[in-house]
Amino acid sequence: MRHPTAEDSGAAGKTAPPAASRMDIAVMGLMRSGSTLLSDLLTIRGECLILSEPNILGRWSPTVVDRIHKLAANFGLDPGPTPPVETEWPSYGSYFDKVLLPQLGRLPRWGTKYVDLVDWRPTLARYRPKHLILTVRDIRDVAISSIDRVARLKLAFRGRRYMRDDAWVMSNLAFNVHELMAMRSEPHLLVRYEDMASDPAIRQRVADFVGFERLSDRRENLEAGGMARQWELRKHGEGISTRSVGRYREEPWGPVKALADRLWRLLPEYSEAFGYEIPPPETWIRGHDFSKAAADGKNPARNPIVYRRSETRDWTGPAQLEPVFALRRARAFIAGRLPAEARILELGCGTPALQSLLVKGAQHLPADVAARAENYRVSRLDALEFPDGSKATHILAFGILELLGPELAAVLRQLRLYDRPVIATYHAADDTADLDRAAYGWVNHLTRTELAAACRAAGFRFEARWARFGRQSFIHLRPLRPEARPAARKPGAGSIDRGKPRRK
């Protein structure tokens, strides 16, 4: 067949597509809420194709364009011999309407899946889906799984303008929660991830809702994602599993779990609306920049987060102190000050975003409480379990000292056993007297003087730039008297001075 070109596009992207091209199914929800799984259940060869994140009305993305082209070709459609080139089309939307829509029209049904909900209103208005399905999941599980996804897919790319780090996870989820709450006014079927994974009756309810006799047993969208998504296929194996249900309960205490807990209390309306455990009202975070503005009687409540701004790598975030944005600033500060030969062991790192900021040649050695990707070292500081640091030249401990209880002194002593410079951050009690420190998950409350004394007692030379990043201080610890180091095994060689893990 002859495929339309840019010359054929005319006003494509500005006028509505033909009525015959009306979308059958739209799946929308938060990332990591089972939307891709549901899309694959609804993608049946010869009957229905659900396009995962086609970004029809958004920016041109070569990665997305290539993936959608591959998905369509795998499905037996004819999207052309090669993916489209941006310079040949006024927009991806024009290419979609002129090339892909006619191909999709050959199928009995088609649809799309989105977890970035910035364009949901014009998308629904333009393609008018017959069936809308919203997917949700416990917001705490979503937050932790989102960090895992960033780590696995290495989404914080070197040299790019956009950042996918811990701060991005927070702002992206907050933005999309607000949009999802607004989307509830549309007729829809609600599907909770936990129910879909555990109850076949829920999956049958989905089939009945869209008029299917059966659901697919293939993973078309994951397979089109190539090797980058193979970890999900390996994790769940054949069929559907409950291995990711209750992710928050399984996560050891650390910065990632503290982020999940904070989002849960920042967005309690989400848990209330979708039937999840609601945080105690006295713990709700109120009056926050990420809280949804109230409607004024004439206009609906607006989303307080600008989506494009949330993706910018140097966006400073809300006016309120947020540990993940403090972490972003600390990483940006240190990255350019480390030499090209540096090997940085980052404890409690969450995402591997630091690697994208380092000078060429420097190596990032990520460590966290869970093996978020193949190259992660497992490090349970609350249980005094430290990874091997023999290959490191520097140790980073950003955003973790505040989260330690009685084990803080023992952690500092074990950091000393690395016999490497340690660069840490801390929010001293002197600088946060007006804040509810417990609301951040912080469990110790040291003054500047007390922190300095604790570090010196562990065997460090102590230097600090107090309140270098707003209320966050930058701490540089250098080992003192290497010859006087205690005769004990170094971290990574086994348990040293093990204490009873603190449970939260």
The answer, yes or no, to whether residue 477 has pLDDT greater than 60, is: yes
Residue 496 has pLDDT above 50, yes or no: no
List of domains in the chain: 6-137+188-236 (3.40.50), 321-484 (3.40.50.150)
**Taking residues 5-9, what's their average pLDDT?**
52
Q: What is the pLDDT of residue 229?
A: 47
Average pLDDT, integer, range 253-274:
97
Say what the pLDDT of residue 223 is.
64
pLDDT (0 to 100) of residue 294: 65
pLDDT 10s digits, 19-64: 557 899 999 999 999 999 999 999 998 899 999 999 999 989 998 9
Q: What is the CA radius of gyration of the chain?
A: 25
Q: What CA–CA distance (Å, rounded) separates 258 from 381?
A: 14
| Confidence bin at 292 (pLDDT 50/70/90) | confident
262 has pLDDT over 90: yes
With cut-offs at 50, 70 and 90, classify the pLDDT of residue 6.
low
What is the predicted pLDDT for the residue at 375?
94
* Of 320, 357, 360, 319, residue with least CA distance to 335: 357
Question: Which band of pLDDT confidence, cut at 50, 70 and 90, is reported for residue 161?
Answer: confident
The per-residue pLDDT for 323 is: 98
Give the pLDDT score at 158: 62
* Predicted confidence (pLDDT) per residue in 316-370, tens digit: 999 999 999 999 999 999 999 999 999 999 999 999 999 999 999 999 999 999 9
pLDDT of residue 77: 94
By C-alpha distance, which of 231, 217, 233, 221 is closest to 70? 221
> Per-residue b/e over 169-208, b at no fewer than 16 CB within 10 Å?
bbbbbbbbbbbbbbbeeeebeebbbbbbbeeeeebeebee
pTM, to two decimals: 0.89
Euclidean distance between CA atoms 10 and 402, whole angstroms: 58
Strands lying side by side in the sheet with 109-114: 48-52, 109-114, 25-29, 131-136, 189-192
Longest dimension (CA), the chain: 80
Q: Reply yes or no on whether the pLDDT at 170 is more than 80.
A: yes
Mean pLDDT of 406-411: 96
pLDDT at 52: 92
CA distance 295 to 290: 15
Return the pLDDT at 495.
Answer: 33
Give the residue-averaged pLDDT of 75-94: 94
Q: How far, CA to CA in Å, does 94 sit from each of 101, 128, 161, 430?
A: 10, 17, 25, 57
Whether the pLDDT of residue 492 is over 60: the answer is no
For residue 218, what pLDDT band results from cuts at 50, 70 and 90? Answer: confident
> Mean pLDDT over all residues of the chain?
88
Q: Which residues contact 258 (CB under 8 A, 6 or more apart)?
A: 323, 403, 440, 441
Output the pLDDT for position 302. Answer: 87
Whether residue 18 is predicted with pLDDT greater than 80 in this model: the reply is no
Report residue 244's pLDDT band, with 50, 70 and 90 as the boundaries. Answer: confident
The residue that leads in pLDDT, 227 or 399, is 399
